[in-house]
Amino acid sequence: MTYNVRVTVINETELIVAEEVFSQVISRIVNRLRPVKAVDTVGVEIVLVGDQKIQTLNKQYLHNDYPTDVLSFPPSERSIEQAQTLGSIVISIDTAAKQSKQAGVAIEKELEVLTGHGLLHLLEFHHK
């Protein structure tokens, strides 16, 4: 079974990014890991923000008063095996731009990496 992936992009920044940057990486990961049972479509929301907004979210939810590159928010406490919407991935465009410059890659490539990172958190893969 191949999942249909529904990606909603909310862009609160001035940077124009094609939805395909996000949908392709999400589709690859979801179809490889097959985390959701009994549904044929899964949804993910991508929210692009600046450093100030992600710092506010980071402080509010993780008690870290600094900007970060990506945060993930599941839709609720229910099991991902039952969820049709996996949740939201919030990405700081400002931090992504800095990191892409440091790595010598296009910002779209950095956004793919951050999207994959955020998605793995939504699928319950965590650091440490």
Per residue in 46-76, pLDDT tens? 999 999 999 999 999 999 999 999 999 988 6
More confident site: 104 or 86: 104
Strands of the chain (E only): list them: 4-11, 41-49, 70-73, 85-92
Domains of the chain: 4-122 (3.40.390.30)
Q: Are 47 and 74 a contacting pair, CB within 8 Å?
A: no
**Per-residue pLDDT band at 41 (split at 50, 70, 90):** confident
Q: What is the pLDDT of residues 24-37, one digit of tens each?
A: 999 888 888 776 66
This prediction's pTM: 0.88
Q: How many residues does the chain have?
A: 128
**Per-residue pLDDT band at 42 (split at 50, 70, 90):** confident
